[in-house]
Chain A
Amino acid sequence: MTATLTRPAPVTGKKKPVLARTRRREAIALVLPSLIPILVLSVAPLVVGIFLAFTDARLVRHPDYGFAGVDNFVRLAGNDLFWDSLRIGMIWTVGVTLLQLAAAMGLALLLNSGLKLQGLTRVLALIPWAMPPVVVAIMWQMIYSANGGPLNAFLGGVGLPDDINWLGDFSTALPAVIVVGVWVGMPQTTVTLLAGLQQIPAELHEAASVDGAGAWRRFTAVTWPSLRPIVTSITSLNFIWNFNSFSLVYVLTAGGPGGKTMVPVLFIYLEAFKNREIGYAAAMGLVLVVVVVLLLAVYLRSQFRDDRAAKGR
């Protein structure tokens, strides 16, 4: 799912008696078809997933599992590989989210400043968003390829080292994967920021110019404060999506080399479907969800506090 969600536009218009009639029963009948698949295929699994985390379930043909209390979590506490993957996941998530925002902000500002080539750039910006993640990963494997890859060829052409095994080397694999994450997620962020930029009244910028504000000053005094709510929501969503992303890393490196790109979701997938320890994997998933929710709560809290402080000034 890729798109920005915040609160919907308010529904305008007053309630009229004609529409109010038998409203409740109709509403229930119309909503019911969407409630059933949701309950069976997302709410129920969530509940079962939390339950599984406290069992020693294994992925076998006829599962026979018992309650394991907090055993999984105790075991998890001593699993250095899991904590490593959490650390790598944080670097990946924060890296991609921040670089996405910075790169998208730059592109959105460029597109908003009346340059030519806007149409081309907009179409190009859409492509990474539309492509299947698997195709994106295959494409970037070719770009990064150590034999005959265009990236090394380019570096060699300008006199830099040209024998780097980007996805296979311990030190370059994670940054290389992060660049792909930025490539994929940047367009979405750009489009959202651009929409936000276009909502800022031109008079604000003109007034700031008249007051003698330079480009940077206008950005910090006018653009950034106006964009703040959008930046907050897009950053939160990007953070979650990036933290939960799986396909790109799975196809690009499968967690390698030597676990250097083993993001948590991939780690859990392997634990569940290769090691077949689903109880243990569910416990990892639960820890992951708690971590994401906590981080997000801290971030949103700080944002709202800043906003209140800004308003109070």
Chain B
Amino acid sequence: MRVLVRPAQYAALALYILFLGFPLLWLISASVKSSGELNSLTVSLLPGEWHWDNYTEALSKQGLVRSAANSLVVALASTALSVVIAVPAAYVLARLKGKVRAAGVGWILVSQVFPVVLIILPLFLILRTLGLADNLAGLTLVHTTYMLPFALWMLQGYVAAIPVELEEAGAMDGASRLTVLRTIVFPLLAPGVVATAMFSFVSSWNEFFFALVLLQSPENYTLPITLTMFVGGEGKVALGPLAAGAVLAAIPSIVFFGILRKKLTSGLMAGAVKG
């Protein structure tokens, strides 16, 4: 019996790898297949011959490049905003005790159960009244608010990891609070800020629901919205360009998550586990 455990474990692991990896492999494969091959009845994982036309066609498709630019603008702006807002608040949250901290932590937790269905309707009305519905600035504000709890959460963890004694030593030496923050806290916090920013960027880049509700004009669409327009609408779907567009849309997220991998799996989760 014992001898069989390892092979069984490897078989199970192989199944997991297949389940997790195959869909992605298929998507990439579809993105380099010719339309003839995609529509043929023989199904093969590897393309008969590699075609890059799908990528050029996806990129030449009206709207894809512009919506990618929209996504980039919204993601960069909301990331910058949420980080700038979150850093000071996270510092307070991590360093202070008592009611402020309790309220902050409580709110972060509640925000995870925030009923998006319930807030999306008034949010839409409010933004429409402000003239910010169907507007990238409006979407940026919404993404910022929506990313803020998580940015705060990550950052306060990074602040808490900086020994408060370092700050006290600086204060003893006569440095003002601002100097202490600038020379001691910020440099140590920088990697955490970068990680938080990347995470925020990906959240905004991938976000679909708010964009779907708020944006109505095709020239304002973000990339996820434009991709769904590829699918429906004109009936017949051009599978190859769709797959190519999907691959392109996934690249930034996967790259950033790849960089963040260690931080996400160790730093972030440590807090959750210690809980």
Which chain A residues have a beta carbon within 8 Å of chain B's beta carbons? Answer: 1-9, 11-13, 15-16, 18-19, 23, 26-27, 30-31, 33-34, 37-38, 40-42, 44-46, 48-50, 52, 63, 103, 106-107, 110, 113, 115, 117, 120-136, 138-143, 147-150, 153, 183, 186-187, 191-192, 194-196, 199, 215, 229-230, 233, 237, 240, 244, 246-247, 250-251, 264-265, 268-269, 272-273, 278, 281-282, 284-286, 288-289, 292-293, 296
Contacts and interface: CB of A to CB of B under 8 A. Distances in A.
Given A6-B275, A38-B148, A272-B121, A139 B27 contact: yes
Contacts of B6: 115
Interface residues of B, number: 115
A185 B206 CA distance: 15
Contact of B145 (A26, A37, A115, A191): A37
B88 A30 contact: yes
B141 interface: yes
Contacts of A117: 10, 13, 17
Contacts of B205: 132
Contact of B38 (A38, A124, A148): A148
Contact of B97 (A15, A31, A37, A50): A15
B170 to A, nearest CB: 9
Interface string B136-153: 000001101111111011
B57 to A, nearest CB: 16
B108 interface: yes
Interface stretch (B48-56, B58-66, B246-254): B246-254
Given A23-B96, A273-B213, A5 B257 contact: no
Given A8-B160, A196-B273, A37 B85 contact: yes
Contacts of B228: 134, 251
Contacts, number: 315
25 contacts: A1-B147, A3-B154, A4-B269, A5-B109, A8-B105, A8-B160, A13-B165, A19-B95, A33-B85, A34-B148, A37-B148, A42-B114, A52-B122, A121-B20, A124-B21, A127-B24, A142-B27, A149-B43, A183-B19, A183-B23, A187-B20, A192-B272, A278-B121, A289-B118, A296-B113
A292 B224 contact: no
B85 to A, nearest CB: 5
Contacts of A34: 85-86, 88-89, 148, 152
Interface string B1-45: 000011001101100110111111011001000000011110101
Given A52-B122, A124-B17, A131-B206, A6 B116 contact: no
Q: Which of B27, B122, B223 is the most central at the interface, judged by chain A CB atoms within 10 Å of its CB?
A: B122
Contact of B264 (A12, A40, A191, A237): A191
Contacts of B258: 123, 126, 130
A16 B24 CA distance: 53
B20 A11 contact: no
Contacts of A278: 121, 125
Interface in B102-128: 104-105, 107-109, 111-123, 125-126
A233 B257 CA distance: 23
Interface in B69-94: 84-86, 88-89, 91-94
B242 interface: yes
Q: Which of B89, B111, B146, B266 is the most central at the interface, judged by chain A CB atoms within 10 Å of its CB?
A: B89
Given A15-B97, A130-B202, A150 B45 contact: yes
A48 B126 contact: yes
B149 A33 contact: no
Contacts of A6: 271-272, 275
Q: Which of A131, A147, A153, A286 is the most central at the interface, judged by chain B CB atoms within 10 Å of its CB?
A: A131
A49 B121 contact: yes
B22 to A, nearest CB: 8
Nearest to B227: A134
Contacts of B113: 240, 292-293, 296
A138 to B, nearest CB: 5
B203 interface: yes
A19 B176 CA distance: 11
B26 A230 contact: no
Nearest to B86: A34
Contact of B167 (A19, A103, A288): A19
A26 B178 CA distance: 11
Nearest to B88: A30
